Amino acid sequence: MTDLKGALIGCGFFAVNQMHGWRDAEGARIVAICDRDPERLKAVGDAFGIQRRYTSAEDLFADGGFDFVDIATTVGSHRGLVEMAARHGVATICQKPIAPTMEDAKAMVSACAKSGVAFMVHENFRWQSPIRAVKAAIDSGAIGEVFWGRVSFRSGYDVFSGQPYLATGKRFIIEDLGIHALDVARYIFGDATAVTARTRRVNPAIAGEDVATMLLDHDGGITSLVDCSYATKLPIEPFPETLMEVDGSKGTLRLTQGYHLAVHSKGATKLTNVEPPALSWASPPWHNIQESVALIQQHWIEALRAGREPDTSGRDNLETFALVEASYLSAAEGRTVSLAEVL
């Protein structure tokens, strides 16, 4: 079977991981790249040997010659670029967060649906192998019926040096990182119906909130706590590990720092090391995230070939983005917000 051909827009900080992932992927390759910054375009083009280079997305789509586009720009450009791809009938992947507002996010999903093109949000944390291991342990029935859970990401890592824009936005941790933890909560515990959130800014040098705590009511009656912080200085820095606690009717599960998974059931505890492999191009401590980039890309290739909706399709991601919107609204108004209010 011939490889799917892809184009990547946005050759910045994170796109390098995506380019590595595509280089290793089976069944797809990147044939063209685009960035409005000529220096970034050259750096990525030279590093990955891509000859077709564009500083304008319009020109890229006008020339065509690819089956899908991978949009790795920051949030402000997502809607315009996804709608452009839909107009050209090109299947689309877009980085998280899908959009700055729910109105934009819905318009993007609708544009792709109207054009009949596949649309996936690059929501990769649920593809991390430790998170997959948690899901597999729950699905095995070992801890029985789940009634409570926690998804926790607490760190003091300096994310601002690599991603300076994170320090300047009115919104920070929920939109940037909490969005992943909220998606993991949906993936593990099911869709949520309501959120109660509290936020706080500890670091005076940034504009947005760097601490958030969210209480979720899930459809099936599970209660979960999703908490994230970039103001937490621990003796051993855990970035970028997502930790989990799950209580079930027959046992418990704990994913603790250092990628240790403990499943306690029937009076015995099974300990497993679920550290993801460091791929050849990995740069620890990012290897956890980097592996999930490769896995979500492989999922996209399989879904596109099979004509199946990807797990983190735009449609699915509206539910995750609704949790972001509901969390900000809840924190601003000091009340519980029903997801129906923001969807």
- Residue choice 81, 146, 159, 322 for contact with ligand 89Y (CB under 6 A): 159
Minimum CB–partner distance for residue 211 and ligand 89Y (Å): 13
Give 3-state DSSP helix, strand, coil % of the chain, rounded to 5.
40, 25, 35
276 binds ligand 89Y (CB under 6 A): no
CA 109 to CA 93: how far, in whole Å? 12
Residue 181 in contact with residue 131, Cβ under 8 Å?
no
18 binds ligand NAD (CB under 6 A): no
Residue 196 in contact with residue 208, Cβ under 8 Å?
no
Beta 243-248 vs 251-256: how paired, if at all? Answer: antiparallel
Interacting span for ligand NAD (CB under 6 A) from 32-40, 101-109, 217-225, 312-320: 32-40
Minimum CB–partner distance for residue 309 and ligand 89Y (Å): 23
206 binds ligand NAD (CB under 6 A): no
CA 222 to CA 231: how far, in whole Å? 28
243 binds ligand 89Y (CB under 6 A): no
CA 297 to CA 300: how far, in whole Å? 5
Pick the closer one to ligand 89Y by CB: 67 or 175.
Answer: 175
Pick the closer one to ligand NAD by CB: 147 or 281.
Answer: 281
Chain position whose Cβ is nearest to ligand NAD: 12
CA 35 to CA 167: how far, in whole Å? 22
Please state whether 64 falls in left (phi above 0), alpha (psi between -120 and 50) or beta.
left
Token digits of residue 181? 């933890």
Minimum CB–partner distance for residue 69 and ligand 89Y (Å): 20
CA 210 to CA 228: how far, in whole Å? 8
122 binds ligand NAD (CB under 6 A): yes
Pick the closer one to ligand NAD by CB: 37 or 219.
Answer: 37
Instruction: Give me the residues that bind ligand 89Y (CB under 6 A), please.
Output: 159, 163, 176-177, 180, 240, 289
Instruction: Give me the residues that bind ligand NAD (CB under 6 A), please.
Output: 9-15, 34-37, 40, 57, 72-75, 77, 81, 95-96, 122, 124, 163, 165, 176, 289
